[in-house]
Structure 1
Amino acid sequence: MKKSLLALMLMGSFATFGIAATTLLDKATQEDIARHRAMATAHENAAKCLESGKSDEVCEKQLQVECKGLAIGKFCGMKHTH
C-alpha cells in the first residue's frame, strides 16, 4: 500500500513539474516551438505529396507556400541531396 501511495505521489509531482516547465517558457521560446511544429507539418505534407506521385517541383512549390515566413531559404530551413 505504501509503495502504491508513493508511486502516485511521484507521478503527481512529475505531472506538476511538467506543467510548470511548460508555463515557464518565455514567449520567444513558445513561438520557436510553434514554428518548428509548423515546419515539421509542412515537411510531412511534402512527403505525402511525393508519395501521391506528384512531381518534385509541384511538392516543392507546396512546401514553399506552407513555409512562407517560417524559415530561411526556399526549402523551409532544410535542404538535402537527391
Structure 2
Amino acid sequence: MKPWLATLLLGCAAVAHAQEHTAQQTKVDIERHRAMAAAHEAAAKCLESGKGEETCRKELQAACKNLAIGKYCGMKHAH
C-alpha cells in the first residue's frame, strides 16, 4: 500500500472514531428525528386537507424551528 494512502485511511478512521456519539447525544438525536418525522407527518396531513403548499410549508418551518438544518426541516425533495 502506498504510504499516502495508508495515512489517508488512518486519518479517515480517526475522524470517524472522533464523531461517535455518547449515549446522551444518541438519545437527543433520536428525539430530534422523531420530532422531525412528526413535523413531516403534520405537513403531509396539511397538504391532504387542501390548505395549500405555501401554508403547509410555513407550518412545517414553524414546527422545525431550531430542530433541523435548512428551511425544509432537514429534507428537501424535487420541487
The structure 1 segments of at least 4 consecutive aligned residues displaced by more than 6 Å after TM superposition are none
Normalising to structure 1: TM-score of the pair? 0.68
Question: How large is the Cα RMSD of the aligned pairs?
Answer: 1.0
Which residue matches 1:37? 34
Normalising to structure 2: TM-score of the pair? 0.71
CA deviations 1:8-53 (Å, max 9, x no partner) are xxxxxxxxxxxxxxxxx71100000000000000000000000000
**Residue in structure 2 matching 1:27, options 24, 34, 43:** 24
Distance 1:56 1:78 in 2: 15
Give the structure with the higher percent helix. 1
Say which SS state the counterpart of residue 48 (structure 1) adopts: helix
Which residue matches 1:53? 50
The letter for the 1-side match of 2:47 is: L
Larger radius of gyration: 1
Which residue matches 1:71? 68
Long gaps (5+) in structure 2: 1-21
Long gaps (5+) in structure 1: 1-24
